[in-house]
Structure formats: structure tokens, C-alpha cells
Homo-oligomer: A and B are copies of this chain.
Amino acid sequence: MKLLEDKIITDGKIGEGDVLKVDGFLNHCMDVAFLSKLGEEFYRLYKDCGVTKILTIEASGIGIACLTAQYFNVPMVFAKKTKTVNIFSDVYTSRVESFTHKRVYDIIVSKEYLRPEDRVLIIDDFLAQGSALQGLISLVNDAGAEVVGAGIVIEKAFQPGGDLIRKGMGVRVESLARIAHMSCKDGITFVD
């Protein structure tokens, strides 16, 4: 998506350890009007798939998932990273490894909010190693529901997550920007 690639070039920064920093519009300070356009693009891509629910993971997926759910006119469910005392019904659970935060954690979704009849579109801000996305797919499978696909804002296509989920798991993944290479020295190039 040209609009997003331009925004990444203009507003994105590459920090120490070749980390891409897009928190000026995506995952700390959110440019809500801009993100809504990304939601509209996810709608264009998946509008014929009978989506009944949007699923994401806290925290930085929530904004873009909310704005996407507006187009589909369906509820948005976010998987939580820790079990809180406010959830007292049964939950589906899965394990996720965060390479950014260098830790492993459990994610949960209340069984009330993922039903066997659901057709689920998973939305997230980043895809790199694919651990979070695999965890979310596993929750949907546990519920006996169907994953219609995933909508990702930025995919680090030089990392294995995308292939793992498209080819390994046979799940449709649509990423609005796919980074082929990035470094402080050479900047960012996208997959054609």
C-alpha cells in the first residue's frame, strides 16, 4: 500500500539494533485518521469473507483492530496477556514468545467471545517471527472457529513469520507494507 510505505519512509525511524520505530503514527502516538484508512484497506481485502469478528492482541493491535472493526461492523476481541481477576469465565489460552520484549507469555480469550460459528479476521500491527499470530490462530482453532485470514500493517518480510503462516499453516496473510530490508545505514526497502 503506497500510502503506508510513504508514511513509513517519512515518519519511521530506524533505531539501535536496526529496530523500526513507527510509534509516531502506529503504536504509541496513533494517527487515528490515517490508521482508519488502513482499516478501510483491510475491509477491501476481506469484505467478501463473511467476517463475524476481529481478533487482535493487546496492546498495540487494539487501535488498528478497532478502526478496522468499524468497517466490518462486527465486534473486536483482544487477547489479553495476563489473567486478570475480571475474567472469571473459562478461557482459551496459548503461548507467545516476544522477541522484542525478550520474554514468553500466555495469552487468553474468554470462551464467551470466540464461538464455533465465528469467522475471524486477525489484525495486528507487526509480523516478524510470527509467534503472536500463531498464538492467535491457535486460540481461534481451539474455539472451533475459522480464521479467514490475517491483516498486518507492517511485515518484516526478511524474517520467517510470513512464510511460516502462509505456507506452513495455509493461512491467508495480507500485509499492507512488506519490508525487504532495513538498516540505519541503507534505510528501508520494500518487497515489490
Residues of A within 8 A of B (CB): 15-17, 19, 21, 23-24, 27-33, 35-36, 58-59, 62-63, 66-67, 69-70, 73, 75-78, 80-82, 84-88, 100-102, 109-110, 112-113
Contact = CB atoms under 8 A, between A and B. Distances in A.
A29 B110 contact: yes
Contact of A66 (B19, B32, B80, B109): B32
A100 B88 contact: no
Given A59-B62, A66-B67, A30 B78 contact: yes
A102 B70 CA distance: 34
A86 B84 CA distance: 26
Nearest to A57: B59
A73 B33 contact: yes
Contacts of A63: 62-63, 66, 76, 78
Contacts of A31: 75
Contacts of A101: 82, 84-85
Contacts of A29: 75-77, 110, 112-113
Q: How many copies does the complex hold?
A: 2
A21 B86 contact: yes
Contacts of A100: 84-86
Nearest to A99: B85
A76 B30 CA distance: 5
Contacts of A62: 58-59, 62-63, 66
Task: List the 7 shortest-distance A-B pairs measured between CB atoms, nearest first.
Answer: A58-B59, A29-B113, A59-B59, A62-B62, A32-B69, A30-B76, A63-B66
5 contacts: A19-B86, A21-B86, A21-B88, A24-B113, A59-B81
Contacts of A87: 21, 23, 28
A88 B15 CA distance: 7
A157 to B, nearest CB: 19
